[in-house]
A and B are shown apart, each in its own frame.
Chain A
Amino acid sequence: MTTKLETLPIQDKKSAGKPKNHRGPKRARESRGTLAFSRAARTKALTKHAILILAGGLMIYPLLWMVVSSLRSNELIFREPGLWLNSLEMGNYTDGWSALTHPFGHYMLNSAVVVLGSILGNLISCSMAAYAFARLQFTGKKLFFGIMLLTIMLPFHVVIVPQYILFSQIGWVNTFWPLLVPKFLATDAFFVFLMVQFIRGIPKDLDEAARIDGAGHPRIFLRVILPLMVPALATTTIFTFIWTWNDFFGALIYLTDPDMFTVPVALRAFVDSQSATSWGSLFAMSIVSLLPVFLVFLFGQRFLIKGIATTGIK
């Protein structure tokens, strides 16, 4: 149930109840009827496509305009709502790249470290917890599972002040640890839940067979379950990537030294330092910052859609 939603072909529902064409004398009449029907349907479909293209165009227009604007001179950005380009101005990109204390690549690298660490942390810790919840019987299981579900809905503001105090007292402010350590402790409970649901869909016979062959839980987990839950791991990887790459609040609080800035806080510093004077280079770096997310979107769409459709993570 959890994973099949998106793989259903679109036409299934429509054709399911319909009787097949009868042969014989009725056939001619019927096909005429179908023809008339299909003409009406075609007009309807065309209207629909027109509406959707219009709405979709409106949706992505701002994004396209930002891409185009990043290649325009500043004066043109304030005058030109259209999308055509007379000349390519790469100056915005070179200016933006070196506008802050460090070249922009430095912040990209910082973000990459945080993102990769977070992905690793979430994959290890969440899959372990999920295995226990999905496959093992233990005292307090229901209570813990309930708590885990509740933590999904807990606003982070309730814990952020003491967390900050804790991490600042250990001396971890302006390090990546406050952003990474929680990931290794399965605090993104959404993924634990996602993986529990996925493991529940894996036939139990497989682990029982492995157990009969003398495998213990670590072995069953590593050799049987993990290889089978690759789709869930992929979804987790992709969402962790996007969330962490975009994370502003955590980075804003913990990373105050420009050396340690991740991309979102660097962009914010850019806004503060230049205000509205150089939209061109600001847009250029915004595009650079969105590019990794966009690429992940292109290649990971299938997992993204599934993840949202089944658990509501976005």
Chain B
Amino acid sequence: MSAISELSSLAKRKAPVTAEEKKANGRDNKAAYIFLLPWLVGLVAITIGPMLMSLYLSFTDYNLLQPPEWTGLDNFIRMFSDARLHNSLRVTFTYVLVGVPLQLAVALLIALVLDKGLRALPFYRSVFYLPSLLGGSVAVAILWKQIFGTTGLVNQVLAMFGIQGPGWISDPSTALGSIILLHVWTFGAPMIIFLAGLRQIPAMYYEAAKVDGAGTLQQFWRITLPMLSPIIFFNLVLQIIGSFQSFTQAFIVSGGNGGPSDSTMFFTLYLYQKGFGQFDMGYASAMAWFLLVIIGVFTAINFIAAKYWVFYDD
């Protein structure tokens, strides 16, 4: 069972508490909290404490040296008129709204091809998965910077056909596209989740459809897609949450400044610059909470929309 389905079923589940269980409760409490101690300390000291602190800081002006100074909603009002922040939002939204569907589509396509009983499946699966594993590293970002550079691999290949390619990464109109391509390239992880999902669709559905004379496309639309919809949903939620937080690739490819002309200035990169470049900690905290709200809204929309297109078998 996945984290998402676990979460959505959490609200519904209500176990009846019997007298016997209550007795067991009393017996296990002490042991349970001892086992949970590291996690509880972490929750308070590393997660909830800092969250509250960051909420407080978002209403202050704080540069690490002087004590925080309460400025009310100033940081949030500043965000309204911060053109660079608006641009970073546009960049991030483009990245998420183009990159995620594209990546999932490729992942599903390859998973479908791999699913049909191929002999060399483990080999192909490894080949397609490997970029996923390395994609988040600085080394691959460096590689990408060269590949899409003015004299990089892509333009070398294009030159063989007599085409003079642009400097993909130095041109504001193509820089973000190169990073989106890097994201699509790492489709291996969702592909594996799709593969596992495809395995779970009972073969008898296809057999029955064949008897009824359904073609390949019809089988895909009527059986595969509905049966796979919970997995698609799971991948979508996971990828959207993750993509909003992308940082390393944009940082390395743009040399840390979100260039050219802010075309790869991701929201997280701007947050890093504000917080850890200029030590404008109050503003960075406000931005972090804004990011949390954005991700929360996107996840909520996902869950609401899911009612109309996600099909559960049970």
Which residues on A are within 8 Å of B, measured CB to CB? 1-2, 5-6, 8, 10-11, 13-14, 16-17, 45, 48-49, 51-52, 55-56, 59-60, 62-63, 65-66, 77-81, 124-126, 128-129, 131-133, 136-139, 141-142, 144-166, 168, 181-182, 184-187, 190, 192-193, 197, 216-218, 221, 242, 246, 248-249, 252-253, 263-265, 267-268, 271-272, 276, 279, 282-283, 286-287, 289-290, 293-294, 297, 301, 304-305, 308-312, 314
Contacts and interface: CB of A to CB of B under 8 A. Distances in A.
A8 to B, nearest CB: 6
Given A65-B153, A162-B51, 18 more contacts: A11-B117, A14-B203, A52-B113, A52-B124, A136-B35, A144-B36, A146-B7, A149-B3, A155-B291, A157-B288, A159-B54, A161-B275, A162-B50, A166-B53, A217-B28, A263-B138, A293-B137, A297-B133
29 contacts: A13-B117, A17-B203, A52-B118, A52-B124, A59-B130, A63-B143, A65-B153, A77-B146, A80-B156, A128-B39, A136-B31, A136-B32, A148-B39, A149-B6, A149-B7, A158-B289, A182-B46, A185-B41, A185-B46, A248-B138, A249-B272, A290-B137, A290-B139, A290-B140, A297-B126, A301-B122, A309-B193, A309-B195, A312-B2
Q: Most chain-B Cβ atoms within 10 A of its Cβ — which of A17, A136, A252, A283?
A: A136
Contact of A268 (B7, B241, B252): B252
Main secondary structure of the interface of A (DSSP, over half): helix
A83 to B, nearest CB: 11
Interface string B185-206: 1000100110110011011100
Q: Most chain-A Cβ atoms within 10 A of its Cβ — which of B32, B125, B244, B285?
A: B32
A157 B291 contact: yes
A289 B144 CA distance: 16
Contacts of B47: 151, 154, 159, 187
B118 A17 contact: no
B305 interface: no
A138 B131 contact: no
A294 B21 CA distance: 48
B10 A138 contact: no
Contact of B288 (A149, A155, A190): A155
Given A81-B156, A137-B28, A185-B45, A242 B113 contact: no
B157 interface: yes
Given A159-B50, A162-B49, A286 B142 contact: yes
